[in-house]
A and B are shown apart, each in its own frame.
Chain A
């Protein structure tokens, strides 16, 4: 008889996730449960939506062993474009959105061209686009805030999906959110079953059953906690939809496509990648072009949430996005890191911000803590890898 192959779950993969839960619980205790409220869960999504979007794009840059410093400025330029077109010229919002995306694409291609085809170091190119983009925004907006933006546009950043509310306890419960939670749970369980079946078919080692059950129970608990809280508030924010779709697309790209493999190979060893038939210039070009488009999306979401375009929009976002990737376990030298890691990193930052605000710490203190968390997370990551290597 065949001996069944069994391996333990790789806990390192879930380490960041556990850290996220621990931080959340600590703040729940510190704030007396304030951060557990439905309104706050909703805020967490809305406040961190654009950081998540940027972190997803930034991860691709980080995988190549570089960063994009220009994202905050692209967020500002695209936000300004929308503001000017809608407020000053009264143009259709869809045309404005299309224009913003096109500008993001062009700025991304601009940086990508210098990086990929002229081999200028990305740090320098994006430092330049950061300065140029910010200056361009101030010029376009004449250093003033443009607003208010119309309600249909604001929906993108602050709106909710249609709801079916029923009375529940001391408030209401949105059945759409609950329905989504049910669907997510079913997908989760089915994919686990399918995964086990595939492993059996190819005779790959399986995880012990109790570990799978614990893992899935924790995941299901989080899903239900999250959607229940949203259901008690206003239902599903539209930003959540944008986030989930983007994260889904990029998880797929990085894990399942040839393009994703090429980015990892380039980051791991560019010379070997080139000699394996990978057009490294093309990879660089598209990674930075992609970052431009995602920055534009973040710019649209941000200006919608603020209902206005301001010249200071997106200031320092590049640092949040970069920090998210590193907290999420991406290697500074490139070649290693995951989208889910970056998203979890973004939420760790978000939960820290949120919890500290609720606790009453000033933004100045928050920065100190965030810096310390970044340093701590990367130190732990590198030290644990070093031990493994020896």
Chain B
């Protein structure tokens, strides 16, 4: 048996003359977990699409040797027939169909003549679920009623049902919280024992160093290097060096010369109930304050209520029966809707830029001015398009949005540049208070650094910045002060020198214990 299950040799793939992949080589050993690292746009997804037949044979150069056989896949169906299954970042599940139906979607268990055998479907679905540690789940419930973490596992079960030999996971943990991610990684190790080879694409380098046996780094369409466990250094810094081509000694730029001023933003006794359930309290008596020039973090586990808190403050965009007081610059303000919030100089950058931040089919310019339109780019309801163009050009330069022109559609930009457009959109409203919800989710290391620089500039300009992040190192690296949130309450407050992963977790644990005692 050959050592390598897959060899991709000299793969070159061009899009209208631009080479996305240039002489890329990838060798994956049988039964290993092989990680693919690289910045956004480095060509990882393109390479996987070449492998799985999304880009058919003939549209690229080079050859794919899979199981010692040269493969010419023309479609996903052909590669799946050979046991190569790719799970994309966006889940391909149908939310209203049951778990069992989803597991066999496109691969239905049929008796003769295409009639579905339901008993067989449910029984086999259950077997597949056991393999991914979901043995306790009811296969008859609709997939949409389960959490994202479980849905991701169901995707894997679906792949198992197709007799997968080589499983490709594209950013499988991007939407998962720490615990769900951990479960998923354990499942991957479990699959490895069962002899399944995995290729994982991920930005979360700590996960990669934990789970991978070897790492191939791709940069600008070239293979840079392949690191192997036990032989090479697997540290995050080492991987980043390969990805960006230089040592990124400090992932968080130092903020200098910032004078922290008076409190300019304050929330008192904030209470919010669930939008669909008026009995369920999501936010309980929260008090927070932020000073001018200060960067304050909201740390906590996913589902702790951080986004809910932010959105309820931002023009009651979340929840019902909201009560409490908001003070901006020492004065109490009454905010009924988003328009009021913008007028009171509050900005909220959503965690989900594609769904809540951008109009993807529209251009950079119009996206940038969308929120500030009424106040700064119009007079008596008429748009001043020249001012608009000037402002968009200015911000494109200022925060380094990489695009040909401000008339390019936002949908064609990479994640990092999209995030910059959303930031520009809210900076243009000239806010005093900025709430940034997961400002660097799903973007590469280089773009992250640039966004941290923007945050520093905002603090220097005397703004109050609130950062919500699930990545603890990010909170530690960027914040002056941290509120730890757990189950809709403030579980603790940490000053600059006290901020550490352990302290944050301790606060959460202590809060959980207190809750248990009260019950």
A positions within 8 Å CB-CB of B:
198, 202, 204, 255-261, 264-265, 268-269, 271-279, 331, 335-336, 389-390
Given known pairs A204-B389, A336-B361, the reply for A275 and B339 (CB within 8 Å) is no
Interface residues of B in 321-350 (CB under 8 A from A): 337-339, 341-342, 348, 350
Task: Check B439 for interface membership: any CB of A closer than 8 A.
Answer: no
Interchain CB contact under 8 A, B383 and A261? yes
Per a CB cutoff under 8 Å, which of A275, A278, A335, A390 touches B357? A275
Interchain CB contact under 8 A, B356 and A271? yes
Task: Check B75 for interface membership: any CB of A closer than 8 A.
Answer: no
Interchain CB contact under 8 A, B383 and A256? yes
Q: How far apart are the CA atoms of A198 and B374 in the complex, in Å?
A: 23
Contacts of A271 in B (CB 8 A): 355-356
Q: How far apart are the CA atoms of A256 and B386 in the complex, in Å?
A: 11
Q: Quick one: which of B356, B358, B370, B374 has the most chain A CB within 10 A?
A: B370
Contacts of A264 in B (CB 8 A): 359, 362, 366
Q: Quick one: which of A256, A272, A279, A335 has the most chain B CB within 10 A?
A: A272
- Closest CB of chain B to A168's CB: distance in Å? 43
Interchain CB contact under 8 A, A276 and B371? yes
- Closest CB of chain B to A289's CB: distance in Å? 17
Q: How far apart are the CA atoms of A389 and B410 in the complex, in Å?
A: 12
Q: How far apart are the CA atoms of A275 and B355 in the complex, in Å?
A: 10
**A-B pairs with beta carbons under 8 Å apart, 12 shown:** A202-B389, A256-B382, A257-B378, A257-B381, A257-B383, A258-B381, A261-B373, A265-B370, A272-B355, A272-B359, A273-B359, A335-B361
Interface residues of B in 368-389 (CB under 8 A from A): 370-371, 373-374, 378, 381-383, 385-386, 389
Q: What 9 pairs between A and B have smallest CB-CB spacing? A: A268-B359, A276-B371, A277-B339, A277-B338, A269-B359, A277-B342, A276-B370, A258-B378, A258-B381
Contacts of A260 in B (CB 8 A): 383
Given known pairs A204-B389, A265-B370, A277-B339, the reply for A272 and B358 (CB within 8 Å) is yes
Given known pairs A204-B389, A269-B355, the reply for A258 and B339 (CB within 8 Å) is no
- New A-B pairs, 17, CB < 8 Å, besides A271-B355, A277-B315, A335-B361: A258-B378, A258-B382, A261-B373, A265-B362, A265-B366, A265-B370, A268-B359, A268-B361, A272-B356, A272-B357, A274-B338, A275-B350, A275-B356, A276-B370, A277-B341, A331-B361, A389-B412
Q: How far apart are the CA atoms of A202 and B381 in the complex, in Å?
A: 23
Interchain CB contact under 8 A, B359 and A335? yes
Task: With CB as the reference atom, state the residue of chain B lying closest to A336.
Answer: B361
Q: How far apart are the CA atoms of A271 and B350 in the complex, in Å?
A: 11
Task: With CB as the reference atom, state the residue of chain B lying closest to A333.
Answer: B361
Per a CB cutoff under 8 Å, which of B314, B383, B386 touches A198? B386
Contacts of A335 in B (CB 8 A): 359, 361-362
Contacts of B357 in A (CB 8 A): 272, 275
B positions within 8 Å CB-CB of A:
15, 314-315, 317, 337-339, 341-342, 348, 350, 355-362, 366, 370-371, 373-374, 378, 381-383, 385-386, 389-390, 412, 425
Interchain CB contact under 8 A, B338 and A275? yes
Q: Quick one: which of B350, B358, B383 has the most chain A CB within 10 A?
A: B383
Contacts of B342 in A (CB 8 A): 277
Contacts of B350 in A (CB 8 A): 275
Per a CB cutoff under 8 Å, which of B356, B362, B371, B378 touches A277? B371
Contacts of B389 in A (CB 8 A): 202, 204
Task: With CB as the reference atom, state the residue of chain B lying closest to A259.
Answer: B381
Contacts of B314 in A (CB 8 A): 275
- Closest CB of chain A to B362's CB: distance in Å? 5
Contacts of B15 in A (CB 8 A): 390
- Closest CB of chain A to B353's CB: distance in Å? 9
Q: How far apart are the CA atoms of A274 and B194 in the complex, in Å?
A: 48
Interchain CB contact under 8 A, A268 and B362? yes
Task: With CB as the reference atom, state the residue of chain A lying closest to B317.
Answer: A275
Contacts of B425 in A (CB 8 A): 276
Per a CB cutoff under 8 Å, which of B338, B358, B366 touches A261? B366
Q: How far apart are the CA atoms of A257 and B243 in the complex, in Å?
A: 46
Task: With CB as the reference atom, state the residue of chain A lying closest to B411.
Answer: A389
Q: How far apart are the CA atoms of A185 and B229 in the complex, in Å?
A: 75
Interchain CB contact under 8 A, B382 and A274? no
Q: How far apart are the CA atoms of A223 and B317 in the complex, in Å?
A: 51
Q: How far apart are the CA atoms of A265 and B370 in the complex, in Å?
A: 8
Q: How far apart are the CA atoms of A389 and B361 in the complex, in Å?
A: 11
Interchain CB contact under 8 A, A258 and B338? no
Contacts of A275 in B (CB 8 A): 314, 317, 338, 348, 350, 356-357
- Closest CB of chain B to A107's CB: distance in Å? 26
Q: Quick one: which of A261, A271, A274 has the most chain B CB within 10 A?
A: A261
Q: How far apart are the CA atoms of A204 and B390 in the complex, in Å?
A: 10
Task: With CB as the reference atom, state the residue of chain A lying closest to B390.
Answer: A202
Q: How far apart are the CA atoms of A274 and B370 in the complex, in Å?
A: 11
Interchain CB contact under 8 A, A268 and B317? no
Interchain CB contact under 8 A, B382 and A276? no
Interchain CB contact under 8 A, B383 and A258? yes
Q: How far apart are the CA atoms of A326 and B232 in the complex, in Å?
A: 59
Contacts of B361 in A (CB 8 A): 268, 331, 335-336
Q: How far apart are the CA atoms of A274 and B337 in the complex, in Å?
A: 9
Task: With CB as the reference atom, state the residue of chain A lying closest to B378.
Answer: A258
Q: How far apart are the CA atoms of A255 and B383 in the complex, in Å?
A: 8
Q: How far apart are the CA atoms of A19 and B442 in the complex, in Å?
A: 44
Contacts of B315 in A (CB 8 A): 277
Q: How far apart are the CA atoms of A264 and B337 in the complex, in Å?
A: 21
Q: How far apart are the CA atoms of A258 and B372 in the complex, in Å?
A: 11
- Closest CB of chain A to B56's CB: distance in Å? 13
Q: Quick one: which of A257, A265, A268, A273 has the most chain B CB within 10 A?
A: A268
Interchain CB contact under 8 A, A279 and B362? no
Q: How far apart are the CA atoms of A258 and B369 in the complex, in Å?
A: 11
- Closest CB of chain A to B461's CB: distance in Å? 22
Q: How far apart are the CA atoms of A265 and B363 in the complex, in Å?
A: 11
Task: With CB as the reference atom, state the residue of chain A lying closest to B359.
Answer: A268
Task: With CB as the reference atom, state the residue of chain B lying closest to A261.
Answer: B373
Q: How far apart are the CA atoms of A273 and B373 in the complex, in Å?
A: 12
Per a CB cutoff under 8 Å, which of B358, B381, B412 touches A269? B358
Q: How far apart are the CA atoms of A150 and B385 in the complex, in Å?
A: 47
